[in-house]
Structure 1
Amino acid sequence: MISSFQKLKQRSLCRKFSELPKHLKILPSYTQPKKKNIIFHRAESKNPPLGQTWSNLHEACYQKTKKQTLESNSFMGSLCWNGFELMKQRTWRKLTPQKVKKWKEDPILQDPQELTKNIKFASKFFGSDLVGITEYDPRWTYVEDSEKISQFQKTIVIGIAMDDEAISLGNSFIASGEVALCYSKLAFVLTLMCKLIEDLGYKAEASVNGDSLSIPSAIQAGLGHMGRSGLLINPKYGPGIRLAKIFTNMPLINDKPLDDDITPICSKCGQCAKKCPTQAISHSKEPNYDNPTISNNPGVLKWAVDPEKCFKQWCDLGHDCVICIRVCPFRKKIYGNKSTSVQHFMEKILNK
């Protein structure tokens, strides 16, 4: 008797995987990642000592808020997640299905070229800065979600660029709030995009980081490269991008991955590794197959980041950390080496 997982694996093997850059090598032994190993999942499930560290993060946020100074107020940054959380609760969860009727039950448009043009226009019109399309690749989906996502054939990857002046502030409530604000903007775009796709007679499933890895799909969709920091490096925005995905059965035209390779640049640079407060980023000269913790998924040639060290920095701060984004030369090449202050940034926003 063949198990449902074995059937799923057989279907996956029959899929035609999207193209990857030649320098991005994957071992034959590579297996799908497991959600239970993600650093956030381990912390939320009270996995010691991460569970206690996670509790400390919220306590640190509360203590900083009590100081009543904007420079240290993490509460403001936390508020920026509300758009993301509310959208997720109201439109993505099956417990609260949409009551709005579709235009048509059967597809209105079926021409891939026309559909691709319309989808990319809609994504940009709704507020995304980047959009790319690739074949759905089950290798990046968490094992726990494979069956749910395997019905889809395409992955639409969208990106929201972070405000560079906010990032230039370094580890502050404004930079932390900017991260959250980008995800709330992504939730807005995802909600409209999924409704559009469904109205056109196709299926759509929104995903940020909960169902699958975003960066490999973004690379396949031609949106950038994997950097030493473990972040996507986009030619226009550097590492200052937040990503999300939509899985769909809509017949779309795939984008191609970028031809150039930034590995030689990251090999010589290493600024993100040097400036990382907890030394969570690898100092290795070349990418390798090393994996420091259970939260790393083995089998891909890369510079593996130590999620536990990175997560500890977040918890010590009381919010997330953006140092690796701030010091990256790809960001500075695009935006320059400007700096600002919290007060100056606030005045700029107030005077808009």
Structure 2
Amino acid sequence: MKLEAARLGLSAVGVTAYDIKYNYAEYQGLAVGDTIIVGIIEQNFDSTQMSPSVRAEKAALTAYAGLEDRMSALADWIRDQGYAARPEGFVGESMVIPYAVAAGLGQLGLNGQLLTPHAGSRCRIHVMSTDAPFVHDQPVDYGIEGICDKCQVCVRRCPPGAIPANRKDSRGVVKAKLNTKRCLPVMGKAAGCSVCMKVCPVQRYGLAAVLEEFESTGEILGKGSDDLEGFDWPLDGKHYGPGERPRLGRDVFETPGFTFDPDRKRPLDWKDSSDSDDGGRAEALGY
């Protein structure tokens, strides 16, 4: 199956067990077996480095389209072997990142994204259920969480300050719980944003190079450089290098369908005075 997936052009596939807690309630009961196949395809490298931009957002959608086509073809191949297979719909029926971690394809980054050893956060994920008796893969500690927690670049560079600096237990999962009330409105107005994806050194250079640099120098590869941290902000047309972030006014967050909390501890156009790596932002945001 994995050889067929590679022939079809998938970047990676993994196999794990169906788990009802990763399946949204309104889609439960649609799985055709107790096994989940996780498929990954990499998003175009050059376009991703231009995030946030319309070009980068088109690259994301193009990657999803190609991924769905390939997963559909893989499902056909499994059916040809005499087993049931059902790719999930594009709307998202399950929490795919936990499945990808369980299938050994990567680890959870501070930015809330799956980080794979080769492409970091520059990947798109899709899953299918099957009753085929594939051997299940296991989670793998690639060393991503350790280097990710030391890096903190995405925490410092996130324009709305939606990424906390520390992982905490949240409903049984230790993670950096993103502030979606700050993240989602900005994504909707800034060409999908994805600054947290663009500034991830594992995405930019690959895990092997990042680990080698850290082991030899104690530094995060690219950290503090415009090559990694710089981005053009579509809402004002300005370039923001290391240590600089756009100021976001109230209008960016006041989006129909989202609730604004007027009693939060800091105004919505807040800006760090230190932009440090010590986790002070999380306290400023009231985590």
- Please, what TM-score do these two structures have when normalized by structure 1? 0.57
Q: 1:327 maps to what in 2?
A: 199
1:209 shift after superposition: 5.5
Does the 8 Å contact 1:171/1:322 carry over to 2?
Answer: yes
Larger RCO, structures 1/2 (Cα 8 Å, 6+ apart): 1
Letter in 1 for 2:10: S
Distance across 2 between alignment mates of 1:185 and 1:123:
13
2:169 alignment partner, SS class: coil
Q: 2:185 aligns with which of 312, 319, 333?
A: 312
Partner of residue 17 from structure 2, selected from 135, 138, 146? 135
Larger displacement relative to structure 2 (159-168 or 196-205) = 196-205
1:330-351, Cα deviation, whole Å (9 max, x unpaired): 1233298658999xxxxxxxxx
AA aligned to 1:184 is A
**Cα shift at 1:221:** 0.8
SS at the partner of 2:112? coil
SS in 2 for 1:301: strand
After the TM superposition, which of the residue ranges 257-266 and 272-281 deviates more from structure 2? 257-266
CA contact (8 A) 1:171 1:321 kept: yes
Map of 1:262 onto structure 2: 144
- Can you list the C-alpha shifts for 1:179-214, whole angstroms capped at 9, x where unaligned? 000000011112211222222221111125621111
Distance, in Å, in 2 between the alignment partners of 1:191 and 1:126 is: 10
Normalized per residue, the structure richer in strand is 2
Equivalent runs, 1:126-165 vs 2, <5 Å: 126-149=8-31, 151-165=32-46
What amino acid is aligned across from residue 327 of structure 1 in structure 2?
A: V
Kindly indicate whether the alpha-carbon contact (under 8 Å) linking 1:279 and 1:309 is maintained by their aligned counterparts in 2: yes
Further displaced range: 325-334 or 216-225 = 325-334
Match of 1:166 in 2: 47
- 1:299 matched to which residue of 2? 172
User: Which residue of structure 2 lines up, in the alignment, with residue 197 of structure 1?
Assistant: 78
**What's the secondary structure of 1:131's corresponding residue?**
strand
State which of 133, 136, 153 in structure 2 corresponds to 1:271: 153
TM-score (norm. length: structure 2): 0.69
Mark the runs of 5 or more structure 1 residues left unpaired by the alignment: 1-118, 291-297, 343-352
The match for 2:273 is: none
Q: Is the 8 A contact 2:51 2:231 kept in 1?
A: no
CA distance in 2, matches of 1:315, 1:132: 31
| Counterpart secondary structure, 1:177 | helix
Aligned-partner Cα distance in 1 for 2:112–2:231: 28
1:209–1:244 CA contact under 8 A, matched in 2: no
Partner-residue secondary structure (3-state), 2:57: helix
The one-letter amino acid paired with 2:147 is I
> Using a 3 Å threshold, how does the CA distance of structure 1 residues 261 and 139 change in structure 2: closer, same or farther?
farther
How do 1:1-80 residues align onto structure 2 when only pairs under 5 Å count?
none
% same residue: 28
Using a 3 Å threshold, how does the CA distance of structure 1 residues 121 and 209 change in structure 2: closer, same or farther?
farther
Q: Which amino acid aligns with 1:315?
A: G
Amino acid at match of 2:185: K
Task: Give me the whole-angstrom Cα distance separating, in 1, the residues matched to 2:13 and 2:181.
Answer: 31
Counterpart pick for 1:183 among 64, 71, 83 = 64
Which SS does the other structure have where 1:147 is aligned? coil
Contact 2:106 2:142 in 1 (8 A): no
Q: How far apart, in 2, do the equivalents of 1:168 and 1:215 lie?
A: 22
Which residue, 113, 116, 119 being the options, matches 1:231? 113
Between Structure 1 and Structure 2, the one with more helix by share is: 1
Q: Distance in 1 between matches of 2:148 and 2:18?
A: 28
Deviation, 1:265, is 2.1
- The count of corresponding residues between Structure 1 and Structure 2 is 213
Opposite residue 308 of structure 1, the aligned amino acid is K
Distance in 2 (CA, whole Å) between partners of 1:157 and 1:327 is 25
* Residue identity opposite 1:306 in structure 2: N
- The 2-side partners of 1:124 and 1:300 are apart by 31
Alignment correspondent of 2:126 = 244
Partner of 1:11: none
User: Residues of 2 paired with 1:263 and 1:205: CA distance?
Assistant: 32
What is the root-mean-square deviation of aligned Cα atoms in Å? 2.3
CA–CA separation in structure 1 for the residues paired with 2:116 and 2:10: 14
In structure 1, how many angstroms separate the alpha carbons of the residues matched to 2:181 and 2:172?
A: 19
Alignment check: 8 A CA contact 1:239 1:331 kept: yes
Question: Residue 341 and residue 280 in structure 1: after superposition, are their counterparts in 2 closer, same or farther (change >3 A)?
Answer: closer
How far apart in 1 are the matches of 2:154 and 2:144? Answer: 14
What's the secondary structure of 1:148's corresponding residue? coil
